[in-house]
Structure 1
Amino acid sequence: MLCFYKTIENSLKRVDTVSAGCWVNVVSPTAEEIRFLTEELHLDPSFVSAALDEEESSRVEVEDEQTLIIIDTPIAVTEGENTLVYTTMPVGIIVTPDYVVTVCLNETSAVTDIANGFIRNLQTAMKTRFLLTLLLRVAQSFLIRLKHINKMTAQMETELHHSMQNKQLVQMMGLQKSLIYFSASLKANEITLEKIFRGRVIKLYEEDQDLLEDVLIEFKQAVDMSSTYSRILKETMDAFSSIISNNLNQVMKTLTIVTILLEIPNMIFSFYGMNTGDLSWFMPYTWFSLILSITIVGVVGFIFWKKKF
């Protein structure tokens, strides 16, 4: 999908043709659309292919008058039986003298929010400000997902207090995996931002200083939150692992005690069964064995109870 946007009268409008000062949004492009980008807009083919590589890491590259900025953005995927996992996907931002082009394999919330006009006073002709606004939106999308992960962790913890089921444990493992993905991507994004904010990749303007500081603060907050939530979730998983192990020990202890108590009458009746010819209810051996079994079971049970077994 190939869409063109331009700020007209302080409002972001979708236009039919590309022109200087517009924003070109490309999502999962076809071969014909890729040809348009490389031949009509004269974008570097290696930049386009890198932006469409889902394994591409966050980085900055400059070639002639074009600048490629690849930034990781969060996306949600479902694994197994309705297990929600957050991962990241690269978005390529190609800045040219005339346009800003965003290229990605799938729709992302940061780009979609801008395209839907959720950002006020967005100027597509101001390429630096547009880039900073997009980066700010990416940082905010990380924060939103991190808060959602924290809420889901609290919910799973509450459910595990009432019922130990594999479903909750698998979901918590998925959230732990999500935080690992986020931590790796945020660290790579932070390195990319440091290169951008040195002013050598794109030209920075003094009037964008506040926006620049907001982007830095949001990303640093996302990095801190990711690290904190990861530690909390790890400690929670370790705690529940200990609880599950303790519950298993309690069950095994109970079964062992029951087995011991049941084995006592079995041993007594087996002994008399092998050494007497007639073990019917009318024989004194039968009543003696029964009373002896009940007595020994009672004594052993009392000892277990006294020792709080």
Structure 2
Amino acid sequence: MITIYRSNADGILENIDSIEQGSWINMVDPSKEEILLISQRLNIPQDFIPAALDEEEGSRIEFEDNATLVIVDIPFTEIDDNSLTYDTYPLAIIYTENIIITVCLKNSPVLLDFAHEKVPSFYTFKKVRFMLQILYRISNYYLLYLRQINKKSLLIEKTLYKSLRNRELIQLFALQKSLVYFSTSLKSNDLTLEKLLKQEILTKYDEDRDILEDVIIENKQAIEMCSIYDNVLQGTMNVFASIISNNQNQVMKYLTSVTIVISIPTLISGMLGMNVGGIPFFDHPNGFFNMCLIVTLITIGAIMYLSKKDMF
């Protein structure tokens, strides 16, 4: 899918039908025909656009005479088994002398914010500034999703205190896996951002350089947050795995105690039910009541003894 935008003289973003100078071409999972069309129309290398369609593509910069390719990993949220999960996908930013192109496998909330004009003061014809604003927005989303992961882990921890199931531990493992993806992508992006900082065309203006430096700072902060949350989650999973095991032991101990208590009346009644002589209170008019009273007292005594041993 190809969508073309252009900022008008008043700075309002417009959706246009044809490629014009200073426009922004947003490509989402483009077909081979669309890739070929844009490559030939704008005279850019044909391998630039498909690079972002490989989920395993790493962050990098590539230069050609008439175009520059910047690939970074951006965060995504997905619904998996009715649970929100986090992952990363590559985003390609290609800019030429007159046009800027973005390519991604899915509709990214980062780019949707620009398309819906949620980001102030951006212009499609200011290609370098626009690219830096996209990078800054990506860093903001990483920080946002990391905070969400931290909140979700805290909610799961509260549930785990009384849980005997593995479901919560599996959810924590999914969050930890997301942190690994984020950490790997952020570190890869960090190398790319450092390379961008050395490009004169991107730091020609002081304001552009300030934005890029802010992006690098935000990215490093996200890397640090990833490391902290990953260590906390790993420790939490180990602790609560032990708690679940201990809870199961407590239940088994309780059930064992109940079994012992229940077996006392059964054992006595079974012995007294034998066809032999010498049964206590056999000839007594209240013999059955007396035996029941004795069995009850023995059972109560067993309960009190087991309670003192912390078996209940």
The secondary structure found in structure 1 opposite 2:49 is helix
Shift of 1:106: 0.9
Q: What do the CA deviations read for 1:43-98 (whole angstroms, capped 9, x no partner)?
A: 21211111111221222222343222111111111112x11101111111112233
1:161-180 residue pairs with structure 2 within 5 A? 161=161, 168-180=168-180
Structure 1, residues 230-258: CA drift from partner, whole Å, max 9, x if none?
A: 23333333333233222211111111112
* Partner SS state of residue 97, structure 1: coil
In 2, are the aligned partners of 1:85 and 1:177 still within 8 Å (CA)?
no
Show the counterpart of 1:44. 45
**What is the one-letter code of the residue matched to 1:246?**
N
Whether the 8 Å contact between 1:10 and 1:121 is mirrored in structure 2 is: no
In 2 relative to 1, CA 298–120 (structure 1 residues): closer, same or farther, beyond 3 Å? closer
For each residue in 1:164-201, what CA deviation from the matched residue of structure 2 results, as whole angstroms up to 9, or x when unmatched?
Answer: 6665544433323222221121111112212222227x
Q: Which of 294, 301, 304 is residue 302 of structure 1 equivalent to?
A: 304
Report the more deviating stretch, 280-289 or 44-53.
280-289
| Contact kept in structure 1, 2:59 and 2:70, CA below 8 Å | yes
Q: Contact 2:35 / 2:50 at 8 angstroms: preserved in 1?
A: no
Pairing 1:77–2:71 present: no
Closer/same/farther in 2, CA of residues 146 and 74 from structure 1, 3 Å limit: same
Unpaired runs of at least 5, structure 2: none
Give distance in 1, aligned partners of 2:281 and 2:104. Answer: 86
Residue of structure 1 equivalent to 2:205: 206
Q: Deviations over 1:128-153 (max 9, x none)?
A: 22211110011111111122222223
Q: What is the CA–CA distance in structure 1 between the aligned matches of 2:277 and 2:195, rounded to whole Å?
A: 96
Partners of 2:283 and 2:142 lie apart in 1 by 81
Question: AA paired with 2:304?
Answer: F
Report the alpha carbon displacement of residue 161 of structure 1 after superposing the two structures with TM.
4.7
CA distance in structure 2 between the partners assigned to 1:235 and 1:127 by the alignment? 45
The one-letter amino acid of 1:204's match is T
Q: Is the 8 A contact 2:194 2:216 kept in 1?
A: no
CA contact (8 A) 2:26 2:102 kept: yes
For residues 186-221 of structure 1, the C-alpha deviation after alignment (integer angstroms, 9 at most, x for no partner) is 111112212222227x54213212112211111112
* Partner-residue secondary structure (3-state), 2:249: helix
Q: Distance in 2 between matches of 1:76 and 1:307?
A: 51
Corresponding residue pairs, total: 307
In structure 1, C-alpha distance between the alignment counterparts of 2:269 and 2:120, rounded to whole Å: 88
Counterparts of 2:198 and 2:137, CA distance in 1: 20
Aligned Cα root-mean-square deviation (Å): 3.0
Q: Secondary structure at the match of 1:220?
A: helix
State the distance in 1 between where 2:281 and 2:109 align.
81
Separation in structure 1 between the aligned mates of residue 69 and residue 217 of structure 2, nearest angstrom: 23
2:19 aligned partner: 18
Q: CA 1:119 to 1:301, structure 2 compared with 1: closer, same or farther past 3 Å?
A: closer
**Cα contact 1:5–1:24 (8 A) shared by 2:** yes
Matches within 5 A, 1:130-145: 130-145=130-145
User: In structure 2, what is the Cα distance between the partners aligned to 1:119 and 1:299?
Assistant: 74
Judged with a 3 Å threshold, the aligned counterparts in structure 2 of structure 1 residues 283 and 83 are, in CA distance, closer, same or farther, namely farther
Counterpart residue identity of residue 107, structure 1: N
With over 3 angstroms needed to count, the CA separation of the structure-2 counterparts of 1:296 and 1:62, relative to structure 1, is same
The within-5 A match list for 1:57-68 is 57-68=58-69
3-state secondary structure, aligned to 2:198: coil
Identity of aligned residues (%): 41
SS in 1 for 2:118: coil
Q: TM-score, normalised by structure 1?
A: 0.86
Q: CA deviation at 1:226?
A: 1.9
Structure 1: segments with no counterpart, 5+ residues: none
CA distance in 2, matches of 1:123, 1:295: 87
**Is the alpha carbon distance of 1:153 and 1:64 closer, same or farther for their aligned partners in structure 2, counting shifts above 3 Å?**
same
Distance, in Å, in 1 between the alignment partners of 2:253 and 2:105 is 55
Q: Does the alignment pair 1:149 with 2:149? A: yes
Deviation at 1:288? 8.8
**Alpha carbons of structure 1 residues 251 and 194: separation in structure 2 relative to 1, 3 Å:** same
Q: Tell me which moved more, 279-288 or 2-11.
A: 279-288
Question: Contact (CA 8 Å) 1:26, 1:104: kept in 2 or not?
Answer: yes
- 1:46 aligned counterpart, secondary structure: coil
